[in-house]
Amino acid sequence: MSIGSRPSSQVGGHIGGLETTEDDSLIIKRALPVEVEFYQNLATSAAFEPLRPFLPHFYGTLRLEGEHDTTRSDTLVVKPLPESLKEDTDESTTTWYHIIFRLPAPPRTFLRPNILDIKLGTVLYDEFASPEKRARAEKSARETTTLETGIRITGFQVYDNSTLSPVKTDKLYGKSLKAAELPAGIARCLPVASTSNIALGAKEPSFGLPCGTLLPIMESLREDIADLCKILEVLELRMVGASLLIIHESDWDRAAQGVKLYMEEGSDDINSDESEDEEDESEDEAAGTPKRPGPPYTVNLIDFAHTRLAPGKGPDRGVLLGLSTLMKLFDDRIKELRAMDRCG
C-alpha cells in the first residue's frame, strides 16, 4: 500500500507522515498506538472536554501491519511482514495506524493562509527513549530555545503581498534562534504591512496585514493561548513533541471581513463546523476562492505521537512554560503594534 505526498501547507514535522484528501478537508497521518490511544481518551473522557476546541476532530483509524520503508521520504510504503518478525517492537517493524482527522478550520478555509508551527515543552524525548536518543534530545533542547523558554519555532510560511505566493521557512531558522531573538522571530512570523497599499508585482517582497487588522487578531490569539494554558494547568498529561499550530488569513480583504464577523458573531459561531455549507461552497472552492469569509485565525494543538496521560504527576510544566513564554512574546508584539502610528 502506498500513500501519497504530504500536504502543501505543512511547515513543520516529518516528511512522509502526512497527506490530505484531494479537497484538503481531511488529514491522514501515520501514527503509533500511543497517539491513537490519546485520541480515543480524548473522545471518551469528560476531563478533556475543555481542551477539545483546541484539538483536531478525530474520525478514526486505519490499522496497518508491515514494514516502514524509510528510504522513501515522500511516501509511506507498507510491505507484509514475515510471521517471525511480527513480535518485533522496533519502530520500523511495529504496528502502524493511519489516523484520520480534520482541523476545526483547515487551511483550505483561508484564501492565503499564513501558518506558524511552534513546538511546545522543554523535554524532547519519550520516557521510553533509549539513552542515546535521550542524550541527543537533551543536547538539542540545550542548544535551542526549547530548554530555556519551552518553545521552538518549527517552521512557518507567510504570503508575499506583491507576488501572492507563500514563502516558507523551515526548522533550521527556529533552531538557530537564541531566546533573546524570539521577539524578532515572532514579528517575522506575524508581520505587519509596511504600507497601506499592496503593490502587485513589486520587486521587493512585502509581507503582513495592515496594523489595524493584525492587532485584533493578535489580541484574540493571546486570549486563546491564555485560555489553553488555564486548561492544561489542571490536566495531568505529558506532551512530548506537541506543537501549537497558528493559522491566520493574509489576504487583506478577507482578513478584515473575518475580523468584522468575529467581532459581530463571536469565535464560537465563526469557528463552528462548516459541514452545512460545504456542498454550497464546493463550486466556489473549486474555483480557488472560498465563498464565505472564515475565521481570521485559528489556533490548535497538534502532534501527539508521544502524548500520554500522567495521573498523579500533575500538569506538564514544560508545556506551561512554553505557553507562558508565548503569551509574553505576544504581549510585547501587541505593544509594538499599538505604538505604531498607522495602527490608529
* Exposed/middle/buried for residue 229 (C-beta within 10 Å: 0-12, 13-18, 19+): middle
Q: How far apart are the two ends of the chain, measured CA to CA in Å?
A: 56
- CA-to-CA distance for 227 and 221, rounded, in angstroms? 10
Cell numbers for 184, please give them: 524578532
Determine the Cα–Cα distance for residues 58 and 239; give it in Å rounded to an integer.
18
Q: Which residues pair with 59 in a beta bridge?
A: none
Instruction: Please give the pLDDT value at position 231.
Output: 97
Residue range(s) in the chain whose domain bears CATH number 3.30.470.160? 107-343
Give tens-digit pLDDT for 242-264.
Answer: 999 999 999 999 999 999 988 88
Cell 503582513: give the residue: 208
* Phi–psi pair at 206, nearest 5 degrees: -135, 125
Closest-CA residue to 6 (of 23, 28, 35): 28
pTM flag (> 0.85): no
Identify the pLDDT of residue 5.
Answer: 41
Return the pLDDT at 326: 98
pLDDT tens across 82-130, in order? 343 333 334 444 566 677 767 766 667 889 999 999 999 999 998 889 9
For residue 274, the model assigns a pLDDT of: 47
Which regions of the chain are under pLDDT 70?
A: 1-24, 62-97, 101, 104-107, 196-205, 266-292, 344
Helix axes 211-232, 317-338, angle to 10 degrees: 160
Of the candidates 243, 246, 189, 187, the residue with the CA atom closest to the CA atom of residue 222: 246
Tens digit of each residue's pLDDT (9 = 90 or more) over 155-182: 999 999 989 999 999 999 999 999 999 9
Task: Say what the pLDDT of residue 4 is.
Answer: 38
Grid cell at residue 288: 480557488
Q: Cα-flanking dihedrals φ and ψ of residue 226, to 5°?
A: -65, -40
Q: What is the pLDDT of residue 247?
A: 94
- How many Å apart are CA 235 and CA 229, to the nearest integer? 10
Q: Which residues pair with 309 in a beta bridge?
A: 237
Q: Which CATH superfamily is domain 107-343 in?
A: Inositol polyphosphate kinase (3.30.470.160)
Specify the pLDDT at position 293: 72
- Which pLDDT value is given to residue 57? 83
Residue 134: all three cell numbers together: 535521550
What percentage of the chain's residues is helix, strand, coil (to nearest 5)? 40, 25, 35
Q: What are phi and psi for residue 68, nearest 5 degrees?
A: -75, 120
